[in-house]
């Protein structure tokens, strides 16, 4: 039986998880406006993972702990991208926080975070990261590097920039230093098949289909849309985008420290 290790007392976590499970699986009158996106996610995003409701509840409890630890309270209803960097999981989850007492689980997919052992490789940092024009996103050029790999995916894929962050170095004497944290697509022929395992230099690699979903629906673009409405040009926003209600602004990176790979994460579909 696999175990998830958390901060805080076991008793507090147990009751927190029970409450979170009720919030995930209970009635959802406040988020019916979002229900259609579940089906759209299932149709449009590949490398999907079917996370059981019990594990969904555990992740919701972890998200709430992360937000509380970051001092983020009083959030308006919004979408949120959550990543579990555990080497045994390597997954991203798309959630909707409707209010302080309810979360809606949209879907999950395999991703890759930082691996140990390579020069200039970092362990993807933990935390709650604001997605803001203060660290402007940009578009992949689709060019090949010296290893004939398109590190950011095909031309036009969006690179989500979360700024300079302190992270653990995995080469030399170790320690910590700053890295530029980004979430982006990857080479469709050479690297996308490896999603689900730790393989990046510290950034978050995602399927091209998830990149397009986030981009087209403006899942994390609340700050960008505000800036655009204020007359500040945001050229990275798609002209034909279809922004949803309750766009989000946060990426949450956590580590469940799962010792064994969960059955639902064994192989992405």
| pLDDT score at 100 | 75
pTM of the model: 0.87
Q: How far is CA 229 from the centre of its chain?
A: 26
What tokens does 85 get?
A: 């960097």
The residues near 22 (Cβ < 8 Å, ≥ 6 apart) are: none
| pLDDT score at 3 | 38
For the chain, the 3-state helix, strand and coil shares in percent, each to the nearest 5, are 25, 25, 50
Q: Specify whether the CB–CB gap between 133 and 227 falls below 8 A.
A: yes
- Residue 202 domain-assigned? yes
- Residue 4 domain-assigned? no
B/e letters for 103-135, b = 16+ CB within 10 Å, e = fewer, are bbbbbbbbbbbbbeeeeebbbbbbbbbbbbbeb
> How does pLDDT run across 194-245, given as a tens digit for each residue?
999 999 999 999 999 999 999 999 999 999 999 999 999 999 999 999 998 8
| pLDDT score at 130 | 98
Listed residue (5, 2, 16, 98) closest to 52, CA to CA: 2
| pLDDT score at 23 | 52
Q: Provide the residue range defining the domain that includes 133.
A: 10-265
- Residue 216 domain-assigned? yes
Our count of domains for the chain comes to 1
| pLDDT score at 53 | 96
- Residue 57 domain-assigned? yes
- Residue 200 domain-assigned? yes
* Burial tier of 47 (Cβ tally within 10 Å: 0-12, 13-18, 19+): buried
- Residue 3 domain-assigned? no
- Residue 51 domain-assigned? yes
| pLDDT score at 31 | 40
What tokens does 87 get?
A: 């080497």
The residue ranges of the chain whose pLDDT is under 50 are: 1-22, 25-31, 268-269
- Residue 154 domain-assigned? yes
| pLDDT score at 35 | 65
CA distances from 34 to 8, 48, 106 (A): 33, 19, 9
| pLDDT score at 37 | 83
């Amino acid at each position: 039986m696999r175990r998830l290790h958390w901060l805080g007392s076991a008793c507090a976590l147990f009751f927190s998880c029970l409450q979170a499970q009720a919030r995930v699986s209970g009635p959802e009158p406040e988020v019916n406006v979002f229900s259609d996106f579940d089906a759209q996610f299932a149709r449009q995003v590949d490398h999907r993972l079917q996370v059981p409701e019990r594990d969904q509840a555990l992740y919701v409890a972890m998200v709430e702990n992360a937000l509380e630890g970051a001092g983020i309270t009083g959030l308006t209803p919004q979408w949120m991208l959550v990543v579990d960097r555990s080497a045994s999981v390597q997954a991203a989850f798309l959630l909707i926080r409707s209010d302080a007492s309810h979360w809606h689980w949209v879907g999950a997919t395999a991703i890759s975070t930082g691996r140990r052992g390579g020069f200039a490789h970092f362990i993807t940092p933990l935390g709650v990261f604001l997605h803001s024009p203060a660290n402007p996103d940009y578009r992949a050029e689709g060019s090949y590097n010296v290893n004939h790999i398109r590190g950011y995916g095909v031309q036009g894929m969006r690179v989500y920039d979360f700024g300079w962050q302190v992270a653990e170095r995995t080469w030399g004497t170790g320690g910590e230093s700053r890295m530029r944290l980004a979430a982006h697509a990857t080479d469709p022929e050479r690297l996308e098949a490896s999603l689900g395992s730790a393989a990046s230099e510290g950034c978050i690699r995602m399927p091209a289909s998830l990149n397009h979903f986030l981009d087209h629906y403006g899942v994390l673009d609340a700050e960008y849309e505000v800036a655009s409405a204020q007359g500040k040009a945001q050229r990275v926003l798609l002209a034909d985008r279809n922004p949803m209600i309750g766009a989000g602004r946060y990426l949450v990176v956590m580590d469940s420290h799962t010792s064994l790979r969960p059955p639902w994460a064994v192989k992405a579909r």
